[in-house]
Amino acid sequence: MMYSIKDLSELAGYTSRVYTLISTLHRVHADAYFLSSNQASEAFSLADVQGTVHRGFDGVRMENVPAVAPALFPMGGDELIDSLNFIVHSGDHLLITGPNGVGKSAVARIIAGLWPTYRGLVSRPRAIGIDGIMFLPQRPYLSTGTLRDQVIYPHTELDMRDSGRTDRELSRILEDARLGYLPDREGGWDTRKDWKDVLSGGEKQRMAIARLFYHEPRYGFIDEGTSAVSSDVEGLLYERAKAKGISKYNMGIFFPFENTPSANIMLTPLTPKSMRKSCANVFFFFSSAHNHIHTRLSKEISYVYSHITWTVF
């Protein structure tokens, strides 16, 4: 059971979505599906974006920020989160959990600037990469180029040489990401292949972690970026990131390794009976640097939402 937790969680997610879809279709055919009209939802418009984005903040902060999915111009789409509030400074770690479609990835998209900040305040570092912020999706982009290009992306080899980095340093980074065998297996750093077909799912995600180690940002958003990695290796990767001083924002269903985050946000679905009530800030768990709190994360059945694929940049 302990070694099958990922498979069981995936099966539970599929079962939940199939059950929700079937039950919703039954209610629709029975003419018994009514959305609540108790509270009028705010009509978000791209022509009325009132939120503020502060670049240059030493940390990541969201104050009274709604998460609204994109829709056809000029209107905003479904409101996933009514009002989200948190602040994380360097050295802290945040875990965001919840069922599929509840808005976990939306938090990173808003902070990255892919989705508009309709209301409230978003504060984040100015730079991308070193001493800045970095975003790791579940399925990382693998560029066309050499093995070296995969590790240093989006840098080029010229950028790498100008910054004084060497292939020996890249070898140490791959060792930290448990990919130290790749240069020998694939024929060296200058080998060119279609890497998205060569690397396995777990190797692709560990390559994204290797990029994190190479660029050494101060803050890293990981959107289920280790879902295809075994639990023991996953714990080692996060411990290495912690040793490098990278503050982690993990978004996923569960937190499988021993050390708990500094804070935990669990998002719950917006149901038709309370479609516009806040689902953020349900509960938090705090721990000091030397005290670990072990928590049991629960999954809840969610309503079916359209899935928006992560945009890689």
pLDDT at 186: 94
Strand partners, 222: 136, 250
**Buried-exposed string 65-94: b where 16+ CB fall within 10 A, e elsewhere:** bbbbbeeeeeebebbbbbbbebebeeebbb
Look at the alpha carbons of 255, 252, 301, 271 in this order and tell me if their dihedral is positive or negative: positive
The residue-averaged pLDDT of 267-274 equals 49
pLDDT digits (tens, 9 = 90+) for 200-248: 999 999 999 999 999 988 898 888 888 889 888 988 998 888 888 887 6
pLDDT tier, 271 (very low <50, low <70, confident <90, very high otherwise): very low
* Mean residue pLDDT across the chain: 76
Q: Which DSSP letter does residue 310 get?
A: P
Pick the CATH number of 46-274 from 1.10.10.10, 3.40.50.2020, 3.40.190.10, 3.40.50.300: 3.40.50.300
Given the structure tokens 């890249």, which residue do they identify? 170
pLDDT digits (tens, 9 = 90+) for 144-157: 899 999 999 999 99
Q: Helix axis angle, 201-215 relative to 231-243, nearest 10°? A: 10
pLDDT digits (tens, 9 = 90+) for 242-270: 888 887 666 553 333 334 455 667 666 55
